[in-house]
Amino acid sequence: MSRTLAFHHHGESGNEIRMLPAYYIEADYAKVAVRVNAEYAPTSDAKIDIFDDGVSIFNNNALTLTNVTTGKTTVGTVATTVSLIAGENSEVHAEDFNDTVIDKGSWVHCNLVNGGGGKNFTVLLELENLSEEDEPEE
């Protein structure tokens, strides 16, 4: 059985806004997809992060640069967000997740890290139950 968690922030965008509600997780779930929607599209990329017991569910996608002359590598700031691209009203992400399972008993919440000028954001996290028992035989 699948489950979808819905987070919403009504009104003007901002930075580091905790979207409501937070969810208690009653079973083990695999992450399937995240859908980000905004009634009014952002004018610059909006950034969203979802946390499982305080840890982002997304991979770190910080930019890594290597100077070809010196060979020195510079790693940018940790970035575990997904984006709603400027001018767009919706975006689907299904491959940016880290390898962890959302465990039974954890709490999941969502932050609007940077609204990018958008308004009325809804974020949907689609999950697949991993602890489902087989259907009974007839």
Q: What is the CATH number of the domain that holds 26?
A: 2.60.120
Domain that holds residue 123: 2-129
Question: What is the pTM (predicted TM-score) of this model?
Answer: 0.83
Nearest to 123 by CA among 10, 13, 35: 35
Does residue 8 lie in a domain region? yes
Q: Please tell me the total count of domains within the chain.
A: 1
Per-residue pLDDT tens for 76-131? 666 789 999 999 999 999 888 999 999 999 999 999 999 999 999 999 999 999 97
3-state secondary structure 93-132: ECCCECCCCECCCCEEEEEEEECCCCEEEEEEEEEEECCC
Judge whether residue 135 has pLDDT over 60.
no
Residue by residue, DSSP assigns 53-84 as TTEESBPP---EEE-TTT--EEE------EEE
- Position 74 scores a pLDDT of 65
